[in-house]
Homo-oligomer: A and B are copies of this chain.
Amino acid sequence: MEVSIIAIGDELLIGQVTDTNSGWIARHLNPLGWSVRSVKVIGDDSEEIFRAIDDAFAQTDIVLTTGGLGPTKDDITKPTLCRYFGGALVHSPEVEQNVLEVLEKRHLKINTLTAAQAMVPSSCRVIQNKVGTAPIMWFEKNGKVLVSMPGVPFETEQMMEREVIPQLIKRFVTDEHIEHHTFVVIDYMESRLAMTLDDFEKQIPPFIHLAYLPKPGVIRLRLSGKHHDASVLHDEMERLSILLKQTLGNAIVACDDKPLAAIVGDMLRDRGMTLSTAESCTGGNVAHAITAIAGSSDYFTGSVVAYSNTVKHEVLGVSDDVLATHGAVSEPTVEAMAKGVAQLMHTDCAIATSGIAGPGGGTPDKPVGTVWVAIKCGDRIECECYHLPGTRDRVIDRTTNNVLCRLIKMLRDISPAS
């Protein structure tokens, strides 16, 4: 089963908001054996919306739209849906009741604009939005279905899971099965990995596809298969997975699609080890990545973001001497930061970063992008200097990726506690 997505909103076309709904929808439809054929992002423009719906229905039987439903005046989606599917905007007491309940939960009163949310096309079936005021609208035409949802990611995600996906499954049956296996690979650059997998790829049958999804320092390999016979598909996916593991060995650090921080977390938990971080240039981003993983309190005690040298000295115990002689961005400083935070927070492992993220602060001998990191893993401590290109965000992201990869490599050498 294939689905088209239309994301509506001027804010998307001027780049003020990024469409994350489409990716979420794709990730949650794939397991059903459904795939997203295309995503069209358009503005709050009646003609554009009308044409986009026409084009989408020409390609797929299911069209999902997000956005264009806020209470304010810059939305014209509902009247356009009326024009496309017929009927007129009518007041729905059920929707008004739902709006009242949602606002009540937020201790807010209804006003004329939120009341306008209760106007819906007579040609649609309403699915009450339990987490927001914009109703979800289900339209049918010539055996095809369009579901209009709000643009707020939280609302779309909640209502897709609770109502829209289950109702779509009921409405459409599919005899095709999809299976994805994702492998997280380190130690390789993309092209060398591709050459290493040359023979492996010759073994892949036409109904299975291998994709390379490279990110700085790590490459995700995705096997996606599509077949009407679930067991045929599953057996072949298994065979290829085993073969891939044999080919790449411990360069594969995870056999499902999870963030580096989650891989680090699982490895720490398996080894009964704990982690803390001492961050200067990454400014808390490493700690944020680690604590974004549920259950990270099992192994993560905390972090000191030491932006000023005073904090590096007073809180982390980096000696004034080291700071004066070598500077904040140096091997002795990050080593002292890692040891200091491990001692302060009583952890087995520690990550320390200090660098010049830019755009300012560069010097001839330490230009913007110069980053020193130290990774403590048990008794071992390794330091490394990066020279990273690009913007401040990129330097912070790259450094975060790199230190997590580096810790994974060091943890790999320690066998899990039985």
CB within 8 Å of B: which residues of A? 10-20, 22-27, 30, 35-43, 48, 52, 55, 70-74, 108, 111-114, 131, 154, 157-158, 180, 182, 189-192, 194-195, 201, 209-214, 220, 222, 224, 257, 277, 279, 282-288, 290-292, 294-297, 300-308, 310-311, 314-315, 344-346, 357-361, 389-394, 396
Contacts and interface: CB of A to CB of B under 8 A. Distances in A.
5 contacts: A16-B182, A277-B305, A283-B291, A304-B304, A315-B344
Given A39-B13, A191-B71, A212-B74, A302 B308 contact: yes
Contacts of A114: 191
B303 A304 contact: yes
A214 B297 contact: no
Number of copies of this protein chain within its complex: 2
Given A16-B222, A158-B390, A283-B290, 16 more contacts: A10-B211, A10-B224, A13-B38, A15-B22, A16-B257, A38-B43, A71-B190, A72-B190, A113-B194, A154-B391, A284-B287, A284-B288, A285-B291, A294-B392, A301-B307, A303-B305
Contact of A14 (B10, B35, B210, B291): B35
A393 B14 CA distance: 25
Contacts of A43: 37-38
The 9 closest A-B pairs by CB, nearest first: A283-B291, A284-B287, A15-B23, A284-B284, A15-B26, A303-B305, A39-B41, A113-B191, A15-B27
B18 A23 contact: yes
Contacts of A389: 131, 154
B311 A306 contact: no
Nearest to A40: B40
B301 A284 contact: no
A70 B214 contact: yes
A158 to B, nearest CB: 8
Contact of A194 (B24, B73, B283, B394): B73
